[in-house]
Amino acid sequence: MIKIEGLSKRFGNVSALAGVDLMIDTKGVVAVLGPNGSGKTTLIKSILGMVIPSAGDIFFQGKSILGNWDYRKSIDYLPQIARFPDNLTIRELFAMIYDIRGKGAIAEDDELISLFGLKPHLDKKLGNLSGGTRQKVNIILAFSYENPLMVLDEPTAGLDPVSLVHLKDLILKRKEMGNTIVVTTHIMSLVEEIADQIVFLLEGKIYYYGTVEDIKKKAGKDDLERAIAEIIMKADA
């Protein structure tokens, strides 16, 4: 589904990505991990067409995305921080987004709204919502459509334990449907629970691409959190 060839990106004198080659062609969950400054956000934004690479190319379903924006209609995206007008209510925001994108099969009912307990808040303005409630709004918008690729950037931010369980269930449901889900997160327990593959970035390069079990073996650790910590400490040594 996604093929990346020689992807590099520089911001002035800073190299965010350095010749990344990557193929994501399997259904399921791919977790993009790495320490701060490793290039995760730049990689995700490059796939979404929000960052123009300095070199290399990205292919989505066999076609280059460079200079082509139509492919983004086939992607559901949850940004780490979503910015919406504070004076809109949740109900008005949903109506606006559904009008822009066109209603999907899920967006036509209130199953997701009920799941995350937002019915009492629909007429509240976005500027008056807590961070956790805003994140629930963002999750509902991301899961309101059924596209083949979903990109979730730090989706757990601000969520309470019950909402986190609902989020995991939604991701696993999409996985069972045969979708490809690319997720960035610092919550290793979430990765162990949902991820089929891990892409681990260090200094703009892919250090590892494989399964959770393989990366634990590579680091010589029994759990993923300690394995990731071991890799980062060795890289900093």
Closest alpha carbon to 1 in 107, 101, 151: 151
For the stretch 98-135, pLDDT in tens is: 888 876 545 445 889 999 999 999 999 999 999 999 99
Instruction: Determine contact, residues 113/166, Cβ cutoff 8 Å.
Output: no
Q: How far apart are CA 84 and CA 94, in angstroms?
A: 11
Percent of the chain with pLDDT over 90: 68
Q: Can you give the pLDDT at residue 108? A: 44
More confident residue, 172 or 219: 172
Q: Can you give the pLDDT at residue 69? A: 87
Q: Can you give the pLDDT at residue 109? A: 56
pLDDT average, residue stretch 171-182: 94
Strand 149-153's sheet: what is its strand order? 75-78, 149-153, 180-184, 28-33, 197-202, 205-210
For the stretch 48-87, pLDDT in tens is: 999 999 999 999 999 999 888 889 989 999 998 888 899 9
Percent of the chain with pLDDT over 70: 97
Structural domains present in the chain: 2-236 (3.40.50.300)
**Average pLDDT for the chain:** 90
For the stretch 180-222, pLDDT in tens is: 999 999 888 899 999 999 999 999 999 889 999 998 988 888 8
On the question of pLDDT at 161 being above 90, the answer is: yes
Q: How far apart are CA 93 and CA 26, in angstroms?
A: 34
Instruction: Determine contact, residues 30/183, Cβ cutoff 8 Å.
Output: yes
